[in-house]
Structure formats: C-alpha cells, structure tokens
Structure 1
Amino acid sequence: MGSEVGKASTSDDPGIWTVVLASSAGTIIEWYDFYLYGSLAIFFSTLFYPANEPTAAVLISVATFATGFLVRPLGAILFGSLGDRLGRKHTFLLTLVLMGVSTALIGLLPTFETAGYFAPVTLVLLRLIQGLAIGGEYGGAAIYVAEHAPPNRRGFFTSFIQTTATVGFFVAIVVVLACRLSLGDAAFKEWGWRIPFLLSFLLVFLSIYLRLKLSESPVFQKMRKEGSLARSPVKESFGEKKNLGFVVYALFGATAGLGCVWYTGQFYVLYFLQGVLKVDFLTANICLAVALVIGTPMIVVCGALSDRIGRKKLMVTGLFLAALLYLPIYMTITSAVAAQNFVLVTALIVAQLVFVAMVYGPNAAFLVEMFPPQLRYTSLSLPYHIGTGVFGGLMPLISLSLVAATGNIYAGLAYPIAVAAITAVVNLAFDPRRSKASLPEKATSVGFAE
C-alpha cells in the first residue's frame, strides 16, 4: 500500500490547522442553523401551531424539528455521491448555501396567527431543506480533515469536526438568550425570535469566504489524476455485499447509539427540564449553555485519546455508561430541580456530556477509517445520518411521547438506554474490521483497502 494520506499533501496544500479551521467554521454555522429551531421548539409551539391544545402543539412542534432528521439520509445519499464523484470541497460548499438560505427564510415566515396553516407547512418544508443540506455537510467536513491529517493524529484533528455540532448548538442557545434578555419577553415573542435566523445570511457569507480558500483534498486529487474515482458510488457502496456489511456495522455498532447519547445529553435534557419539570426557559437554557462550555473540550480530549488507546474502547465504554447511568442521573435532576439546586442540574448535564465525548470524539476517525476513499463520502454519510438523524433525531419526540402516554416522567429514558446498550453489544460482537484499520490511498477493484 502507498504512503499514508497525511503524508500525501503537496506543497501548495493549506496547513492542517487552516483545513481544520475552515472546515470547522463552516460546519459550526451549519449546525447553528440546523439547531436553532431545536433550541426554540417548545417556544415555537405557541407561534406556529394552534394554541388551544398546548400539549399537542408541543409534540407537533418537536415533530417538526424531527422532520429535518428524517431527510438527512436522503441528503447523505445525494451529496455523498456528489462528494465521491465531484469532490469534497465543492459538495460542502453547496450544502452550506442551501442551509444558510433555508435558515434565513425561517426568520421571514409569518406566524400561525397571521397566515394560518401556511406558516407550519412552510416551516416543515424549510426544515426538510435543512435536513438535506446537513446530510451532506458532516461527511464532507470529516473526510476532508481526515484526508489531510497525519495518520497517527486523525482522532485528534477530526475531533474538532465532532465539536462543531455541540458548538453550533451552544452558539444557537447563546444567540437566542442574548436576544431574549436584551429585547425582553414581549418583543422577543413578537419579532425578536427572527434575529437569530436572519443572522444566518451573514454567517454563511463568512463561511463561504473561508472555504473558497481551500483546495481539494490530496486524496481526491490523487484519485482524479489516476482515474480511479467511483463511477457509481451509491451502487458500489450499497450494492456490494462486503461494503454493505461495513455500512450496517457502522449504523448498528456505532452511530445509532451515538445519536441517542448525543440527543439525550443535549436536547432531551432541555425538553425534560422545560416540558416535564416546568423549569423556566432562561434557567433551563443557561444550565445547558454552561454545561456545554465545560463539556465540549472533552470531545477533543477523547478524540486525541483514541489515537493512543483505540476508538472502540472509548466508544463502547461511553455507550455502556450511558445505558447504566441515565435513570439515576435524571432522577437526581428531578430532585435537584425540586430543591432549586441548578448547580447540581448543570453538573448532571456535564456528566451526560462525558458520555457524548467518549462516544462522539473518536467517531469521525472511526468511520473514515472503515471505508475506501472512492466510496468514503457515500458509505460514511448514510449510516451516520440514519444513526444520528433517525435513531438520535427522533429520540426527543419518542421519549416525550412515552412520557405523555404513560404518565411516568422517566419512561422516555427507556429508548436511549435500549439503543445505547444494543449498539455497544453489536460493536463488540459483530466487528467486521481488521484489527489494524488504516486510511488507504487506493483500494481493490471492489473498493476495499488492500
């Protein structure tokens, strides 16, 4: 096999930190756009849906948030194929524009009171476009960084891409809080909520400027020069039995549990505080924002640690810890809220972010190393976005529905606990990879590493 990817860059390639900065900045902005609605889902239930059934309105509002996740796998196939055939850089530029425009348009929507059902229908359509865009963004950014990174530091450098979802969510919360605190509740509800969405116009131009400075990844340039690009990435990724086996393993042995752990620790906890325990909007969001500041750097720590001890150990340990500790954590959160001890509430959110870091930090390198370069964008993106977008993205809706149906405030935890445990077992029992994974520059005729 040829030299490792990290050594393949040419003299005119940007430095690795330039690659990380430009890729991460754009991806943060895309996640900011995607999660703005999530941070306001409970609030939006009063703006875009009939107010006479508040519980139903909240569930429908959360379901609207979920629509963006349902189309992420379609975006993964569409943009993954483009990324494998046309290039990583051009593809994630396109997804950035789609995301920025659709987000800004949400800021221009009329409310239900003004436009009736036109408002929620249009909101759903824009969420679908956002889902398509994010379906192509993550894979491109993670692969682009990995294909520039030194082989022994892929976990570390790709972990910065892993922080972008949390950072984007954090930025969304901070912008929303800043607008609400500066404008006051009445003005924020009337028109101030539009500002975070309209800000996307500015952010997307900034990100495009950064990304236009990047060249294509050295691995893709080499494949294009040699004429070894995949002709039909979708067919080769999912039509070949061996590669399909890796795709299935990536889904059920990594990303399904990853999605549930991520959304439990960062979204469900917010909905649990606001919707179940009736903590006020500002207090719940401040607790989460502080926890995110403390917990996000741990993603990079775990990514770097995976370069030393292996990706699998960290990921499986994080999944099992989440499955074992979610119930006692949420029971303690309930007691802490009753006692008005929001320092403890914040600490318990941080504990969940430790699980997120252990599972998510090594994940980009884990997935990139699993697939050959000709099929990497397509093969990686689909299981990632089914796992995080469907298994994870539907987690708040499923869990809140279980709480509403049973009357048990902890019933919603059954879903993430089960998925995390099953994913850990599948990862341990059905790993099809060789013991020493690598990121090859070339592959055999069927698209697998030599």
Structure 2
Amino acid sequence: MNKINHLKPNHSGRSYRKVAVAACFGTFLEWYDFLTFATLAVVFAPLFFPSNDPNAALLASLATFGVGMVVRPIGAALFGSMGDRIGRKPVFMITIALMGFATFSVGFLPTYAQIGIWAPILLVSLRLMQGLSAGGEIGGSAVYLTEHAGNEYRGLKTSFLQLMGPLGILFSTLQIALLRYYLTNEEFLAWGWRVPFWISLVLLIIAFKARMALEETPVFLELNKNSQKVKNPLRSNFKDAHTRKRMFLLFFCVSAGGAVLFFSVQVYTAIFLKTSVKLAPQVVDQLSIYATLVLLPLTIFAGWLSDKIGRKPVVVSGLILGAVFIHPAYQLLQQFGQANNLGMIVLILTMLSLSLALVVGPQTALLAELFPAKTRNSAATFPHNLAAGWIGGLLPLIVTWLNQTWDSAVAGLWYPTIFLASGALVALLYLPETHKTNLHH
C-alpha cells in the first residue's frame, strides 16, 4: 500500500507530469474534435441543411451538434464499465482512436449540394461516433488523472484537465480566424472549413503515441492485485443507495452546472454574438479567444482554492454566481454589442468565465472523490456525461428554440438560470465535502 501511495519524490513528480501531459493532450484532442463542430455550426447550416429559412437551418445544425452530446451517456455506460473491468488505460486508447477517425472523416464529407440527403445523414453518423467516444473519454480521464495525483493538492494538480475544453475551442477558433483572414468567404465555404478536421489527424498521431507510454493507475493495479473488481459495475452502482445518491448529486449539481455554464460561456456566447447581436465573425472569434484565455488562470485558481477551503464552497459559489448573472449578462451583451462597446463585452465575458471556473476547477478531483475505487470509473463517467450530453449539449438548441418561440433574443436564458439556481440549492443542502478523501477506498 505504501509503495503505491508514496513513490519516491523525484520519480513521483516526473511520473505524474508525464501522465498529466499525455492524459491532458488526449483530452484536448477529444475536445478539439468535438467542439470544432460547434464553432462551425453557423457554417454547417447552409452547407448540410439548406433551407429557405436561415433559422430552421441553424436549428438543424445545432440539433446535429446536440445528437453527439445525447449519445455521450451511452458511450459512458459502455466505456465506463470497461474502465472498471479491464483498466483505465485500454479504454483511453479505444476512445481516442474512435474520435480521431470520426473527426478526420468529417473533413472529407460531400455537402448537400453534392450528394443531397446523404450529406446530413453521414454527418450525423460521424457525430454519433464522436459522441460515443467522448462519453468514454470525458469523465474517465478525470478518474485516471486523479488516481495518479496522490492526496496532496489534488484540486490544483487535476484542474489542468479542465483547461483542455477551453484550449480545444481556442485552438479551433484560432485556426478558423486565420482561415477567414487569409481566405475569401467563397474559399472558406468551399474547402477552408475542412482544414481543422484534417489537422486532427496529426494531433491524433501525437496523442496516440503519448498514450501508448502511459501506465495504469495505482488504484486500479491495487484492485486488480486484490481481486476487488466488480463484474457489472454500472448495475452495482444503481443498486447501492449511497452511490446512487452521489451519482444524482454529481449529475444535477456539479456536472450539469458545469455543463450549463460551459456551453453558455464557451459555446453559446459566440453563436449569440454572431446571430442575435450580428457582430462580425472575426470580432466574435477574437472575443472567444479572450474569454478562453481569461478562463485558464481562473480555473487553476479555483482548483487550488478547493484544496484550501474545500470543493463544496467553491462549486456552490460558481453555481450561485452563474444563476444570478447569466440572464442579465446576455441582455448586456446585446446592448453593448449593438453599441459596439467591446470593452464592456470583455468585462461581461470575464464575469461569466469566473462563474464557470469556480464550478469546473474542482470538478476533476470531485468526480473521483465521490465514489469507491472498485466502481469509480463507471459511477463518475455515466452521470457526468448524462449531464454534459443531455443538459449541456442540448442547451444551445433549447435556448435558440425558446428564443424563436418567444420572439426574444434572451428569453431562452431563463432555462440555464433556473437550472443553475436549482443546482446551487441542492448542492448547498446535500453535496458532501470530499477534498480529504482517500482514493484507495
């Protein structure tokens, strides 16, 4: 036990850095692949879903993005259970290969003008494949990294994994901004949008090679050595009342709250500024890059803070801030966007990013700390991906539909507001403090 818990300091430091880089880069690739689609949702609308009504085409494009999110829980159930049975590392290799293949293939899809109805069918099929892969990766990577992190400063050390989503968006957005700058609009619509998908092949090769050198987690090795593995982990989780309660709390408070804020701040703001406020796409891309850059240090700070004062107060603070601020924030974005006051838009984006950071900074460690070692992977990945897929992933579609139904640019924002307020209340009452949890139990 001591050997597993306490490696020699120098080896432990080098080993963890190696694990963290490989795990984070793979998760970065997953998010880059997965969210490039969201960044290009407005572009995909006329290419794959032609319609006389631009709103209908945008809804169809956002629905296709949402489909990939909806199947994430299926991937989580499949790959999460595999992670508890055969190990965390083999699942990593499968999910990253699946995501890489699907994303690279999107770059070669013919458009509706070329093959008709088969274009959106193929796009949706590849999107489903991406969703299954993301379900196994996102959540499982949190467990993997946390089990390698040891007991000291887990929140800080694992908070870096939460940067991979924003960095994935940042890398994607930078590419698209450069492509828009150097290409004409006709060239971008003809082939330029495909470039980010082609580049994913290079990233896949790098990530796959890095993950080949990864070691299995000490917690899983101990379970394997002591023959403590569970035959059907997911079923065991639902049968156990204590685990079931914590899965609900993870789903409703931590993961759903983080997903609602992530897609509101990192995904929907760009769509809103382009379609409702009608800012130039190049300006919106620059604002998205800023929002991502400011989120990075805030997330690490939140992870560090959760080691000092506990996970619960940090997460609850982020949920409350989001619930109070998100609706007026979009009203102000509309107001200042129409006045072209970019300074105030930057300030609003900073406040939105702070609320997101407070929830997701401690999230990686919290995912693993809530559950016992023998069923941790499946217990964490399923509710996490259910929340991210069904609550967060469908948020742009639901908010856009509500806005169109009520003929308002901001009416749909009551949906995330009510959800965050409910999550904050439940977390305040029932979410346990976990930052001193022994992960080997």
Distance (whole Å) between structure 1 residues aligned to residue 291 and residue 243 of structure 2: 39
Output aligned runs, 1:48-87, within 5 Å: 48-87=48-87
- Report the CA distance shift for 1:4/1:438 in structure 2 as closer, same or farther (over 3 A): farther
Give the equivalent residue in structure 1 for 2:6: 7
Distance (whole Å) between structure 2 residues aligned to residue 303 and residue 209 of structure 1: 29
The structural deviation recorded for 1:435 is: 7.0
Give the equivalent residue in structure 1 for 2:440: 441
Give the equivalent residue in structure 1 for 2:229: 229
- Contact map agreement 2:147 2:439 (CA 8 A) in 1: no
Which segment drifts farther, 329-338 or 394-403? Answer: 329-338
Distance (whole Å) between structure 2 residues aligned to residue 369 and residue 6 of structure 1: 16
Say how many residue pairs are matched.
Answer: 440
Q: Which runs of 5+ in 2 are unaligned?
A: none
Identity across matched positions, percent: 35
Which segment drifts farther, 236-245 or 284-293? Answer: 236-245
Distance (whole Å) between structure 2 residues aligned to residue 439 and residue 210 of structure 1: 28
The structural deviation recorded for 1:216 is: 0.8
Give the equivalent residue in structure 2 for 1:246: 246
Residue 325 of structure 2 is aligned to residue 325 of structure 1: yes
Which segment drifts farther, 45-54 or 77-86? Answer: 45-54
Give the equivalent residue in structure 2 for 1:147: 147
- Contact map agreement 2:306 2:435 (CA 8 A) in 1: no
Q: Which amino acid aligns with 1:91?
A: V
Give the equivalent residue in structure 2 for 1:404: 404
For residues 18-72 of structure 1, what are the alpha-carbon distances to aligned partners after superposition, in whole Å with 9 as ceiling and x for unaligned? 1111110111011000001100001110100123221100011011110010000
Distance (whole Å) between structure 2 residues aligned to residue 285 and residue 436 of structure 1: 37
Give the equivalent residue in structure 2 for 1:447: none
Give the equivalent residue in structure 2 for 1:180: 180
Distance (whole Å) between structure 2 residues aligned to residue 5 and residue 125 of structure 1: 43
Output aligned runs, 1:4-403, within 5 Å: 6-7=5-6, 15-403=15-403
- Contact map agreement 1:287 1:346 (CA 8 A) in 2: yes
Question: Counterpart of 2:404 in 1: which secondary structure?
Answer: helix
Distance (whole Å) between structure 2 residues aligned to residue 3 and residue 159 of structure 1: 25
- Report the CA distance shift for 1:53/1:155 in structure 2 as closer, same or farther (over 3 A): same
Distance (whole Å) between structure 1 residues aligned to residue 311 and residue 266 of structure 2: 22
Q: Which amino acid aligns with 1:326?
A: I
Which segment drifts farther, 243-252 or 122-131? Answer: 243-252
Distance (whole Å) between structure 2 residues aligned to residue 399 and residue 4 of structure 1: 51
- Contact map agreement 1:29 1:168 (CA 8 A) in 2: yes
Which segment drifts farther, 313-322 or 221-230? Answer: 221-230
Which segment drifts farther, 328-337 or 356-365? Answer: 328-337
Q: Which runs of 5+ in 1 are unaligned?
A: 443-450
- Report the CA distance shift for 1:237/1:4 in structure 2 as closer, same or farther (over 3 A): farther
- Contact map agreement 1:303 1:361 (CA 8 A) in 2: yes
Provide TM-score, normalisation by structure 2: 0.96
The structural deviation recorded for 1:271 is: 1.3
Provide TM-score, normalisation by structure 1: 0.94
Which segment drifts farther, 142-151 or 354-363? Answer: 142-151
For residues 277-298 of structure 1, what are the alpha-carbon distances to aligned partners after superposition, in whole Å with 9 as ceiling and x for unaligned? 1122211111111221122221
- Contact map agreement 2:310 2:435 (CA 8 A) in 1: no
The structural deviation recorded for 1:373 is: 1.1
The structural deviation recorded for 1:8 is: 6.0
The structural deviation recorded for 1:183 is: 2.1
The structural deviation recorded for 1:101 is: 0.4
More helix by share: 2
- Contact map agreement 1:8 1:218 (CA 8 A) in 2: no
Q: Which amino acid aligns with 2:6?
A: K
- Contact map agreement 1:5 1:149 (CA 8 A) in 2: no
Question: Counterpart of 1:89 in 2: which secondary structure?
Answer: helix
- Contact map agreement 1:257 1:421 (CA 8 A) in 2: no
For residues 82-136 of structure 1, what are the alpha-carbon distances to aligned partners after superposition, in whole Å with 9 as ceiling and x for unaligned? 1111111110111000000000000000001111110001101111110000101
Question: Counterpart of 2:437 in 1: which secondary structure?
Answer: coil
Question: Counterpart of 1:148 in 2: which secondary structure?
Answer: helix
Give the equivalent residue in structure 2 for 1:448: none
Output aligned runs, 1:417-432, within 5 Å: 417-431=417-431
Distance (whole Å) between structure 2 residues aligned to residue 427 and residue 3 of structure 1: 34
- Contact map agreement 1:6 1:149 (CA 8 A) in 2: no
- Contact map agreement 1:370 1:437 (CA 8 A) in 2: no
The structural deviation recorded for 1:261 is: 1.1
Let me know the Cα RMSD of the aligned residues: 1.8
- Contact map agreement 1:3 1:441 (CA 8 A) in 2: no
For residues 185-210 of structure 1, what are the alpha-carbon distances to aligned partners after superposition, in whole Å with 9 as ceiling and x for unaligned? 21111011111101111110000111
Distance (whole Å) between structure 1 residues aligned to residue 48 and residue 76 of structure 2: 29
Question: Counterpart of 2:400 in 1: which secondary structure?
Answer: helix
Q: Which amino acid aligns with 1:302?
A: A
- Report the CA distance shift for 1:164/1:434 in structure 2 as closer, same or farther (over 3 A): closer
For residues 263-310 of structure 1, what are the alpha-carbon distances to aligned partners after superposition, in whole Å with 9 as ceiling and x for unaligned? 111111111111111122211111111221122221111111110011
- Contact map agreement 1:33 1:99 (CA 8 A) in 2: yes
Distance (whole Å) between structure 2 residues aligned to residue 435 and residue 82 of structure 1: 25
- Contact map agreement 1:51 1:57 (CA 8 A) in 2: yes
- Report the CA distance shift for 1:374/1:111 in structure 2 as closer, same or farther (over 3 A): same
For residues 382-403 of structure 1, what are the alpha-carbon distances to aligned partners after superposition, in whole Å with 9 as ceiling and x for unaligned? 1111112211111111111111
- Contact map agreement 1:45 1:57 (CA 8 A) in 2: yes
Distance (whole Å) between structure 2 residues aligned to residue 257 and residue 374 of structure 1: 26
Distance (whole Å) between structure 1 residues aligned to residue 343 and residue 186 of structure 2: 28
